[in-house]
């Protein structure tokens, strides 16, 4: 409890109760009630954000809130689910004042409106350590429409939405790197690190198209490896097909090894999926309709493991096997 | 990530994957799938345990796990719900070795068997601060059978299960207090602090009996105040009716102010509920069947706020208005 200011109950009443939906029972009951539509299953995921690991002490609190929420929404998108609700826990040191909490809650409020979800429960505590936050997100998916990681088949094409590696470059920019890039490119990269775009609409349109899917959080090659492990397949990714933003291409101009490295870095929260070759037309139409690039980057194969190859089909060595926060 | 030992993925595979139920999809997908039985709602709650706030660094890891899980199960019990699944997040400093995680997971495994639940998802991270844990618990309740806090009516009797104040006394014992009590009494009190008993079976039997319910986590008077606030009623609690264990009675022998203080302390995880006077027979039969004391301690009234009174009906002053962890 902060010794001055609103205190725990005051903060809940002032900042969090206004975010509560009907299932949250005003955040005053012991637990929340969640309706489940007939013929549907609920989809549940949880992620945490720890100060100094996932974000820095002076990061804008509204963006800390949004990124944590969006990482969870990306997990729901990767299952083909529609987001409904979330629960929040906060553990805050005494020196985080009401203004920090107010800005944090304002970020949540904006994203609730953006994604059509509401807060239904949570828990707050103090800590003598770093700020520690978790969000549990709940979505729904029609029975049998969920897209798991284990359905890829040899011969499927591998697709990824958006562009890859921008979040990693954005973190470098925030640390003072890539000073030679234009201001708008630097800003675009930083934004991709701080404010991922969960591909919810794309995810919801992919049942009956994608055989297997996950989001790019550990790094494209590592995440594709998870699909391969779960599906009992291998995969080859063509490095020249990797979708890079114009800023990333410019950064790669001085650093020819960069594209291969970007295939190993995480935090992009794009959707990565396997689909049969005859789905390519439907995927192309979906990309046009959503105004979102969806790029074929490789092929699922018999065997195991993920290979990155160059334009000539020659294997490109990869140093890191996936991104870690720590 | 611990620099030596199993590492994050190794720990998940070795200690946590064996705890996973079918909805957890082997803990390898982006999110879990939860079935909801027709005519039922899901009930969801989340609680956290922060080192140095909720537990101490050298507390047995299996008991840390069980207490966090049971605090969540108590929230489900307080809604009248049957527990089904849970999700877990861990943020661990590098000096917490695999042995700590193994013992922690062993505690979860024992309680999964005890309460018939399974793990369906989670997230692990490192931290440079204290151990930080959250559990999200999911249960189910038949539509309309949920017991909320807002249904109490003037004239209802106030009931509480088990005994009150033992967890508070148990914490004192663990800190070296109450050395004059017998060893078995001291052990019983310490156990009540470390290993609460969620009253799940009682909670599930109280729909159509209880008008309003919560668990005793903030302190009996504070929690009854939450029921009063939500229901638009007041309440009077008779101090001599407060159910105290034999150990608490002995402790109160040297300290006549203790019983009133025990009405304000938390962490008991008993069920506190309001029921109409004509339910007393059914409640008595339920107590006998479950082998669990259920004690009438007061009355819901018109008005607002909670009064504690002595045997003569005279108001007893109360110092603390509820327990805080901080």
pLDDT tens digits, A86-111: 999 999 999 898 999 999 999 999 99
- Are A107 and A183 within one domain? no
Q: pTM here? A: 0.92
What per-residue confidence (pLDDT) applies to B30? 87
Task: Give the H/E segment covering residue B188.
Answer: helix B183-194
Q: How many separate domains does chain B show?
A: 2
pLDDT (0 to 100) of residue B305: 94
Task: Please give the backbone phi and psi of residue B49, each rounded to the nearest 5 degrees, phi first.
Answer: -130, 115
Whether A138 is in a domain gets the answer yes
- When pLDDT is cut at 50, 70 and 90, the band that residue A318 belongs to is confident
Residue A326 scores a pLDDT above 50: no
A residues 36..65 contacting B (CB < 8 A): 36, 38, 40-48, 50-54
Indicate whether B23 and B62 sit together in one domain. yes
**Subunit contact B91:A48, Cβ cutoff 8 A:** yes
Say if residue A299 is in the same domain as residue A187. yes
Whether B46 is in a domain gets the answer yes
Q: Does B2 touch chain A (CB under 8 A)?
A: no
The answer to whether residue B301 is domain-embedded is: yes
In this structure, the answer to whether residues A163 and A116 fall within a common structural domain is: no
Range of the domain at A247: 157-309
Residues 6+ apart with CB under 8 A from A195: A63, A66, A67, A70
The beta-strand segments (E) located in chain B are: 32-34, 40-50, 82-92, 118-126, 132-142, 157-161, 212-215, 234-238, 271-275, 294-301, 305-309
Are residues A108 and A193 located together in one domain of the fold? no
Among A80, A112, A142, which residue terminates a domain? A142
- Contact of B132 with chain A, judged by CB distance below 8 Å, is answered with yes
Task: Tell me the chain A residues in contact with residue B130 when contact means C-beta distances shorter than 8 Å.
Answer: 127-129
Domain contains B314: no
Contact A44/B129, CB-based, under 8 Å?
no
Same domain, A59 and A118: yes
Q: Which of A86, A108, A142 is the last residue of a domain?
A: A142
Specify if B148 maps to a domain.
no
The helix/strand/coil state of B141 is strand
Instruction: For residue range A266-301, list pLDDT tens digits in order.
Output: 899 999 999 999 999 999 999 999 999 999 999 999
Kindly state the average pLDDT of the residues B192-205. 96
Task: Assess if residue A1 is contained within a domain.
Answer: no
Same domain, A137 and A170: no
Q: Compute the distance between CA of residue A32 and CA of residue A21 in angstroms, rounded to an integer.
A: 10
B10: nearest Cα among A55, A56, B2, B73 = B2
- The pLDDT of residue B319 is above 80: no
pLDDT at position A301: 97
pLDDT, tens digit (0-9, with 9 covering 90-100), for A135-192? 999 999 999 999 999 999 999 999 999 999 999 999 999 999 999 999 999 999 999 9
Q: For the segment A26-35, what is each residue's pLDDT rounded down to a tens digit? A: 677 889 999 9
CB B79 to CB A146 under 8 A? no
pLDDT at position B11: 85
Mean pLDDT, to the nearest integer, of B187-194? Answer: 95
Tokens 């291969």 — which residue? A260
pLDDT by residue (tens digit) across A121-138? 999 999 999 999 999 999
As a whole number of angstroms, the distance between CA B69 and CA B117 comes to: 10
Token pair, residue A310, equals 């160059």
Examine the fold and report which residue of A102, A119, A142 is the final residue of a domain before the chain moves on.
A142
pLDDT in tens, A212-270: 999 999 999 999 999 999 999 999 999 999 999 999 999 999 899 999 999 999 899 99
The answer for residues whose C-beta is within 8 angstroms of residue B114's C-beta and 6 or more apart is none
Query: Which has the closest alpha carbon to B181: B190, B262, B163?
Result: B190
Location of structure tokens 């509920």:
B273
Position A193 scores a pLDDT of 94
Helical segments of chain A, H only: 7-11, 61-78, 98-115, 166-174, 183-194, 200-205, 220-231, 246-253, 258-262, 280-290
| CA gap A103, B196 in Å, rounded | 37
Q: Please provide the average confidence, as pLDDT, over all residues in chain B.
A: 92
- Are residues A300 and A170 part of one domain? yes
Q: What is the pLDDT of residues A46-58, one digit of tens each?
A: 999 999 999 989 9
State whether residue B102 sits within 8 Å of chain A by CB. no
pLDDT at A18 over 60: yes
Q: What is the CA radius of gyration of chain A?
A: 21
Are the C-beta atoms of B269 and B289 separated by less than 8 Å? no
Contact B130, B50 (CB under 8 A): yes
Task: Please say if the pLDDT value at position B286 is more than 90.
Answer: yes
């Amino acid at each position: 409890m902060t010794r001055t200011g609103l205190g725990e109950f005051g903060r809940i009443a002032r900042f969090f109760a206004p975010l509560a939906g009907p299932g949250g029972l005003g955040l005053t009951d012991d637990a929340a009630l969640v309706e489940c539509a007939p013929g549907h299953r609920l989809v549940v995921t949880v992620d945490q954000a720890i100060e100094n690991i996932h974000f820095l002490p002076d990061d804008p609190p509204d963006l800390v809130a949004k990124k944590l929420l969006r990482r969870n929404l990306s997990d729901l998108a990767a299952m083909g689910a529609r987001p409904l609700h979330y629960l929040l826990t906060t553990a805050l040191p005494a020196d985080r004042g009401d203004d920090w909490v107010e800005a944090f809650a304002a970020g949540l409020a904006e994203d609730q409106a953006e994604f059509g979800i509401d807060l239904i429960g949570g828990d707050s505590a103090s800590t003598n350590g770093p700020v520690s936050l978790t969000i549990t997100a709940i979505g729904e998916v029609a029975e049998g429409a969920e897209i798991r990681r284990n359905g890829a088949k040899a011969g499927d094409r591998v697709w990824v939405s958006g562009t890859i590696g921008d979040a990693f470059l954005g973190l470098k920019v925030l640390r003072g790197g890539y000073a030679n890039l234009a201001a708008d490119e630097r800003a675009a990269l930083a934004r991709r690190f701080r404010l991922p775009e969960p591909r919810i609409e794309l995810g919801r349109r992919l049942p009956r198209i994608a055989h297997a899917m996950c989001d790019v959080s550990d790094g494209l090659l590592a995440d594709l490896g998870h699909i391969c492990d779960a599906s009992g397949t291998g995969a080859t990714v063509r490095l020249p097909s990797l979708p890079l933003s114009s800023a990333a291409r410019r950064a790669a101009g001085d650093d020819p090894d960069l594209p291969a490295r970007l295939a190993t870095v995480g935090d992009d929260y794009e959707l990565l999926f396997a689909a049969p070759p005859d789905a390519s037309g439907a995927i192309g139409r979906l990309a046009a309709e959503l105004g979102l690039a969806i790029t074929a980057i490789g092929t699922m194969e018999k065997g195991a493991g993920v290979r990155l190859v160059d334009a000539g089909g020659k294997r490109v060595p990869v140093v890191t096997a996936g991104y870690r926060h720590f």
